[in-house]
Structure 1
Amino acid sequence: MRSIYKNVLALALSFTAGAAFSQAHNVSSGYQKPTDPQVIENLEQWQDMKFGLFMHWGTYSQWGIVESWSLCPEDEGWTQRKPEHGVTYNEYVKNYENLQTTFNPTAFNPEKWADAAKAAGMKYVVFTTKHHDGFAMFDTKESDYKITSSKSPFSSNPKADVTKEIFNSFRQEGFKIGAYFSKPDWHTEYYWWPYFPPKDRNVNYDPEKYPERWEKYKQFTFNQINELTSNYGKVDILWLDGGWVRPFKTIDPTVEWQRTIKVEQDIDMDRIGAMARKNQPGIIVVDRTVPGNWENYVTPEQAIPEHPLDIPWESCITMGDSFSYIPNDRYKPTKKLVETLVQIISRGGNYLLNIAPGPNGDFDQAAYDRLKELSSWMDTNGSAVFATRAVAPYHEGDYYYTKSKDAKQLNVFHLSGETNYVAPSTFEFTVPAGFSVKQLRVLGVKGKVKWSQKGDKITVQKPKEALKYATAIQLDSK
């Protein structure tokens, strides 16, 4: 994780604490629209869903640190290693990897997560089956560095294969299922060869000089993705992170982090993608930041595009300050979450909201509180959110627009800058050209509301009812 996308359109980069420019991933220009009819249909359904749950979870939650990145020798403030976890780098790595022997999240209950997420209006889930540290949260046969290994105390639990449990629980609630998978793996000798010390996030040897070793890494990666797309039921999205593992010819030298890639790291995405599609017809593949057939949608991180994008996209943004669990994290207020959702959908995107489980296997209560508050707002305003698309003028002042896919319904959201939502005495906004208003309602308000139209301007009197977080006004066309 930790990516910032640009080069499609300018982004309003609203970073949470801990985000770092040095980690930035930048999306390539030149999006290639899929041609497979099943993929196109899956993407259309996904774009209707608007709101998803992201979960970063692994052994690192026990230390309450940034996911994986402290293993990387890059000298960055957000990856600083704490002395109590190891004085030397090698000691730190040993102690980090030894977290496998104490990881025992006995409060793990994915049904509880699925229930809370569904109530909050979330429609799909993306789970970190393996992050850059290489620890598999699924029962891979390619490595013993996994939650189901006998080295891990949780392996004796009936729910030890947490990926399977999460996918099954969310699938039963009607969610689309997304498997996050890191292309780089800093644990296996085929990527970070112990013969050489790692220098940065990249492979620590030259694959063209040692082709047999790289070939083993390609097969290792292929086999793990084959497991995920064969043994875990229907998977709708393969979400591939670690964009520095890419064909050398695709490097964009204008992007800082891509300039650190000095060697060829082609893992043959055509072979991987074809296998995934054979196992899961219609699966969306998201090879982040790598242009071509396998970046079916783009994923700005911790940021919202300043303007609408005319390609499928999703902002992945944390509910707290961190993608991974940290004690006493600062969770964003529900009003901010609603505003973020509105801003994203008005620009045609999806909102992938990250919540990090803790070492006990559960969310903080604060996260459940936010989801519960979201559920009440979604119950009232969901018809203005789901299965909508962007429509000009998109955003004017405090007003944000969406439309139904058949363009017969217009939704206008009002946001306010105050700490608590304050509705104006009258709502005044522009009606898009060509939209002829037949009737109007304020969602959450019973009975008729007073409104008038003069030219392309609509005025709506503030209703008596108190509205929370944001107001949604829904207009039907004649």
Structure 2
Amino acid sequence: MKFLYAIFLWSFIIGFNNCIVAQENVHPQSSKYEWPEEAAVRAKLEKWQDQKFGIIIHWGLYAVPGIMESWNLCSEEWIDRDSNVTYEDYKQWYWGQKDKFNPVNFNPDDWAKYAKEAGMRYLVFTTKHHDGFNMFDTKQTDFKISNGPFKNNAKADVAKYVFEAFRKKDFMIGAYFSKPDWHSEYYWWPKYATSDRNNNYDIRKFPWRWNKFKEFTYNQISELMHDYGSIDILWLDGGWVRPRETVNAEVLSWGARIPEWSQDIDMPKIASMARTAQPGLLMVDRTVHGPYENYQTPEQRIPEQQLDHPWESCMTLANNWGYVPNDRYKTSAKVIQVLIEVVAKGGSLLLGVGPKPDGTLPDEAVQRMKEIGQWMNKNGKAIYNTRTTKNFHEGNVWFTQNVKEGVRYALVCLPDQQQVAKEISWHNNLPKKGSKVKLLATGETVKWKAEESKVTVYLPSSIINSKETYPALAFSFTPAD
């Protein structure tokens, strides 16, 4: 009977994979922003704003069966589990993947190499997602990668080696950490059912249990801040774990239940400890407005307008955050054009890639990253170290500028697989009279003219006659204004 049940459950998982269902309940963009007061934090924030392009790596138990990260453990209306599998059986099956997770081909140096070649400059690595499975050697629980089939591997403390590999490539280092922990008995108490993403008991009646969870959370973050080298960003997910007084219309719009009690984990205490260990640390307490959301993180979307404070769009390269077989990947041209729009609007792009259960990156992801890198290698000056311009967009042309160097950039997004036109024009953002306009892709100085507020740039024959397709062309010039 157990064998037949296993066959049935595996058939369900295969069917789920083929559907390639992505997580729909994403974090929206925050509506308020508060600039940090500490000089060290503001300096780190300025450095982070220069990087523009990062990678977020979701890797955990969900990679083993190749399903959506964590959320199938949650009983909310948008979750689609097989009705013939009991909830308790599903949870035990999911958490039981720890006995199969043995990424023998894990080589973080390869990850860092591919990310560097893609032109990425900062990392956010998932140390723990909502399911509570730890990708670092925490001493607070045995539910971790270093306490399973992989425990005798030299790189069993996965996060340590990921951070080290990316540091060697000069990346800024970010630790993703889920505030909710659905495996912890102090968050989901086994005494009660687990109906949704929230903790499942009344904190007002059982304050001692919530205090144990606060202690557990504090200790885990302390381990990351003290035992894993230099950390630049603490990227905190699970925005429903927050003081109840911060719940606003934006949070209500998520559609999730809001408990009558406060899921406050004492962020001031955590921040004080974390910044003592990591001076200038950027804290990203997602969607919780205030001093611990040092930059905003709209998910799977780009704000409609330019924003005058720090933010990043976190988006998946494929359809899912983690590894799912037969997933659909965005084209490199699409990612490049998204990056251009994000940067022109004042943000950064954090691109999600999910490693396979054996520890390697999917071939499709590696190929996309190489293609993106080929473009970034020639055109990166129009992306890195830039800030916004007043007239930042016209049609398929976006504008950025390097204020320190006094250079402005026009980035022209081109239709996929179409031949490049002989000339390109835009209004405003005029080059200074007598200055040169340079095509970054070839390094050539191109001819141009200005008539009133219109600029026309003439492309060289090396581009017009090329059989190569270009997702975008970038021009640099000294602005007239």
**Same fold at TM > 0.5:** yes
- Please list every run of 5 or more consecutive structure 1 residues that lacks an aligned counterpart in the other structure: 1-16
* One-letter amino acid of the counterpart of residue 80, structure 1: D
User: 1:410 and 1:237 mapped to 2: Cα distance?
Assistant: 29
User: 1:270 and 1:437 mapped to 2: Cα distance?
Assistant: 55
Confirm or deny that 1:169 pairs with 2:177: no
Aligned to 1:10: none
Confirm or deny that 1:441 pairs with 2:438: yes
User: 2:143 and 2:188 mapped to 1: Cα distance?
Assistant: 15
Equivalent position to 2:156, from 151, 157, 160: 160
User: 1:433 and 1:307 mapped to 2: Cα distance?
Assistant: 22
Aligned to 1:233: 229
The alignment partner of 1:222 has SS state of helix
Aligned to 2:448: 451
Equivalent position to 1:69, from 54, 68, 71: 71
5 Å-filtered alignment, 1:294-443, equals 294-406=292-404, 408-416=406-414, 418-432=415-429, 438-443=435-440
The alignment partner of 2:249 has SS state of coil
CA contact (8 A) 2:413 2:471 kept: yes
Q: CA deviation at 1:457?
A: 1.5
CA contact (8 A) 2:173 2:231 kept: yes
Equivalent position to 2:108, from 107, 110, 118: 110
Q: How many residues in Structure 1 have an aligned counterpart in Structure 2? A: 454
Equivalent position to 2:60, from 42, 58, 76: 58
The alignment partner of 1:148 has SS state of helix
Percent of pairs with identical residues: 46
User: 1:359 and 1:20 mapped to 2: Cα distance?
Assistant: 19
CA contact (8 A) 1:335 1:420 kept: no
CA contact (8 A) 1:27 1:290 kept: no
Aligned to 2:184: 188
Aligned to 2:13: none
Q: CA deviation at 1:107?
A: 1.0
Indicate how the Cα distance of structure 1 residues 331 and 179 shifts in structure 2: closer, same or farther if over 3 A, else same.
same
5 Å-filtered alignment, 1:17-166, equals 18=21, 23-76=25-78, 79-82=79-82, 87-149=85-147, 152-166=148-162
CA contact (8 A) 2:430 2:455 kept: no
The two structures have a TM-score, normalised by structure 1, of 0.92
Aligned to 1:202: 198
* One-letter amino acid of the counterpart of residue 72, structure 2: S
* One-letter amino acid of the counterpart of residue 317, structure 1: M
1:405-452: CA deviations, max 9, x gaps? 236111001112x33254222110123379666211111235432211
User: 2:305 and 2:99 mapped to 1: Cα distance?
Assistant: 47
CA contact (8 A) 1:206 1:264 kept: no
The alignment partner of 1:450 has SS state of strand
User: 2:438 and 2:313 mapped to 1: Cα distance?
Assistant: 30
CA contact (8 A) 1:124 1:178 kept: yes
Q: CA deviation at 1:462?
A: 2.3
5 Å-filtered alignment, 1:264-279, equals 264-279=262-277
Aligned to 2:7: none
The alignment partner of 1:315 has SS state of strand
User: 1:391 and 1:50 mapped to 2: Cα distance?
Assistant: 16
Aligned to 1:242: 238
User: 1:378 and 1:352 mapped to 2: Cα distance?
Assistant: 15
* One-letter amino acid of the counterpart of residue 298, structure 1: Q
- Please list every run of 5 or more consecutive structure 2 residues that lacks an aligned counterpart in the other structure: 1-19
CA contact (8 A) 2:23 2:320 kept: no
User: 2:277 and 2:27 mapped to 1: Cα distance?
Assistant: 29
The two structures have a TM-score, normalised by structure 2, of 0.91
1:175-216: CA deviations, max 9, x gaps? 000000000000000000011111110010111111000000
User: 2:123 and 2:55 mapped to 1: Cα distance?
Assistant: 5
CA contact (8 A) 1:415 1:421 kept: no
Equivalent position to 2:288, from 287, 290, 294: 290
Indicate how the Cα distance of structure 1 residues 132 and 446 shifts in structure 2: closer, same or farther if over 3 A, else same.
closer
The alignment partner of 1:53 has SS state of strand
Does 421-430 or 468-477 show the bigger shift? 421-430
* One-letter amino acid of the counterpart of residue 73, structure 2: L
User: 2:208 and 2:255 mapped to 1: Cα distance?
Assistant: 25
